[in-house]
Amino acid sequence: RAEGIGENLVPVDLPELSIVLVNPRVSVSTQEVYSALPQKDNPPLTPLPTDGSNSAWVSWLRDQRNDLQPPATSLAPEIATCLDALRDQGAQLIRMSGSGATCFGVFENEAQAKRAAANISATHPNWWVAPCSTVC
């Protein structure tokens, strides 16, 4: 887990989540994203879940935010299109990763993630799309 402005990395014991990573192959400058951030003193995220189940983690993630997503999306509207594509494929949760432009969707299982990745790749052949899972 990256804390602060990403300078503090804390190990996290995640369950194995089936995810799809999507990048529309656009470049987003981290400096420009941070410059477009209207407020830089946002409250910290809530404590990590103590229940190691997939549902507990998805629920926790759903309640979190990425403060960089709105400014990144304003700089690269393709990010919103990626998030929409993941949502349209039935992701339980969608988010932009870091300062963008890679996005991810959490799926119920590996088969759904692979199917979603194939569908997104077929619809957006120029995007980078990868089904995978969190490291356990």
Residue 130: which of 100, 98, 109, 105 has the closest Cα? 105
Q: Per-residue pLDDT tens for 53-73?
A: 899 999 998 998 888 999 999
CA atoms 50, 53, 59, 65: torsion sign = positive
Give the predicted TM-score (pTM) of the model: 0.87
Task: List all residues 6 or more positions away from 125 whose beta carbon is below 8 Å from its beta carbon.
Answer: none
Given a contact cutoff of 8 angstroms between Cβ atoms, the answer to whether 19 and 134 are in contact is yes
**Which ranges constitute the DSSP H helices of 4-66?**
30-36, 54-62
Q: From first to last of its 136 residues, what are the pLDDT tens digits of the chain?
A: 777 777 889 888 889 999 999 999 999 999 999 899 888 787 878 888 888 889 999 999 899 888 899 999 999 999 999 999 999 999 999 999 988 899 999 999 999 999 999 999 999 999 999 999 987 5
In single-letter form, the type of residue at position 65 comes to R
CA angle, corner 19, sides to 134 and 92, nearest 5? Answer: 120
